[in-house]
Amino acid sequence: MALTSKVAIVTGAAQGLGRGFSEILLQNGAKVALLDVNETVGKSLKETFDNQYGPDKSLFLSCNVESEEQLKAAFQKTIQTFGRPHIMCNNAGIINESNWEKAVSINLMGVVRGTYLALEHMNKLTGGQGGVVVNVGSLAGLGPLPCTPVYTATKHGVVGFTRAMAAASDISGYGIRFNVICPAFVQTDILNALYQPEKTGQFSSLIENTKKLIEMYGIIEVPDVSKNFLQLVTDETKNGEALAVLQKGCSYVTFPAL
């Protein structure tokens, strides 16, 4: 799939992985709606992107993925400005084992909200032009991160949800591919939460185990994840794939055939 003039929507785009995903889409010629709750950082990123890629290539939209209304409005504004989307990346995510309902609402329900809106606007059966949805899981969507059981659960949920959507799309003919990217530890702000007792809550005592895991897997940089994200977007043969991204390289995950 060539990205020139394709329209993309990225949630949690203001910084970290979302910023990296947005930038690689822009570098490959797509137009990108940058959605985030952090207006200050989001607006400043839009200025940076304006200077690098031109003012008509991106759009910052203040949007909390916990709000169906705000997500709907963001889709409408994107369509008014750039046209119907071809690419949706549900990336916004947090770690909060104390306020775990919020983590579920953002990490899992936010992905479901964003995916269903993408389906509404991209489904070839209802006048859309098809395309691809890439959801952001984690290695914690494939195995446990003991200091964050709810974060782990949400990411397992994202992996299962994405694979089921891919199968539904195949069976029904939506013309949309659904893939999930599962990075190990990446150098972004979310890692700070692992060291903050108010974020890890009753599991803060597991800090030494977390440090061992980080030492074992290492910490990868955003561009290493972005280039693999781009593969899931552009490779038309990939649907229902979970791509694990580790320091030693990336691999498509094989699930047991039961």
Ligand X SMILES: CCC(=O)/C=C/C=C\C[C@@H](O)/C=C/C=C/C=C\[C@@H](O)CCCC(=O)O
Ligand Y SMILES: NC(=O)C1=CN([C@@H]2O[C@H](COP(=O)(O)OP(=O)(O)OC[C@H]3O[C@@H](n4cnc5c(N)ncnc54)[C@H](O)[C@@H]3O)[C@@H](O)[C@H]2O)C=CC1
Q: Kindly identify the residues of this chain, within the stretch 147-206, that bind ligand X according to CB under 6 A.
A: 184-185, 190-191
Which residue's CB atom is positioned nearest to ligand X? Answer: 143
142 binds, among ligand X, ligand Y, none (CB under 5 to 8 A by kind): ligand X
98 burial via Cβ count (<10 Å: 0-12, 13-18, 19+): middle
Instruction: Find out whether 80 and 1 touch, Cβ atoms under 8 Å.
Output: no
**What mask of x and - would describe binding to ligand X in positions 212 to 251, judged by CB under 6 A?**
-x---x--------------------------x-x----x
Residue 162 DSSP class:
H
Q: CA nearest 82: which of 60, 59, 63?
A: 59
Instruction: Give the active site residue among 53, 116, 151, 174.
Output: 151
Of 2-10, 11-19, 51-59, 137-145, which segment contacts ligand X by CB under 6 A? Answer: 137-145
Q: Which residues contribute to the site for ligand Y (CB under 6 A)?
A: 11-12, 14-18, 36-38, 63-66, 91-94, 106, 136, 138, 183, 185-186, 188-191
Amino acid at 93: G
Catalytic: 53? no
251 binds, among ligand X, ligand Y, none (CB under 5 to 8 A by kind): ligand X
Minimum Å gap between C-beta 170 and ligand X is 24
Q: Across the chain, where does the E strand assignment appear?
A: 7-11, 31-36, 58-62, 87-90, 131-136, 176-183, 242-246, 249-252
Which residues are tagged catalytic? 151
